[in-house]
Amino acid sequence: MKEPEFAAVFSALAHDLRLAVFRLLMQAGPNGLRAGEISTTLGVPPSTLSAHLAQMAQAGLLRATRQRQQIIYAVDVEGTRRLITYLTEDCCQGRPEICGYGNTVTCTSAVATRREEETSDE
């Protein structure tokens, strides 16, 4: 992802309801929740929620799957990993292990993966 795409991700999280949805779905895990469950849990009308869910899905934070008449929303794990890598890759002058963001191997491979993705996008 490039800078403008990350700006869209931050914009998708820059609302109290969307942030609450993201946190709720992080807790729910990979199976996610039905849109109606999200609406009920957060006390938000479905009509209000749908636009927020769509923005988050478009930004790559959520994935939606249809099961019969219902839509299940879950966190897009890869999109979330890209965001976390973007936020931490330059930490402590390129040495994120100093800041406690994991060991050198994990952080270095995450940065290398992101850089490979950027090069392949060009």
Q: How confident is the model at residue 105 (pLDDT cuts 50, 70, 90)?
A: very low
Annotated domain spans of the chain: 3-76, 89-121
Cβ–Cβ < 8 Å for 17, 42: yes
Would you state the pLDDT for residue 90? 74
* CATH code for the domain defined by 3-76: 1.10.10.10
pTM value? 0.73
Walk across the sheet containing 33-34 and list its strands: 33-34, 70-75, 62-67
pLDDT (average), residues 101-108: 51
Cβ–Cβ < 8 Å for 49, 35: yes
Q: How confident is the model at residue 92 (pLDDT cuts 50, 70, 90)?
A: confident
Distance separating alpha carbons of residues 28 and 25, to the nearest angstrom: 5
Would you state the pLDDT for residue 37? 97
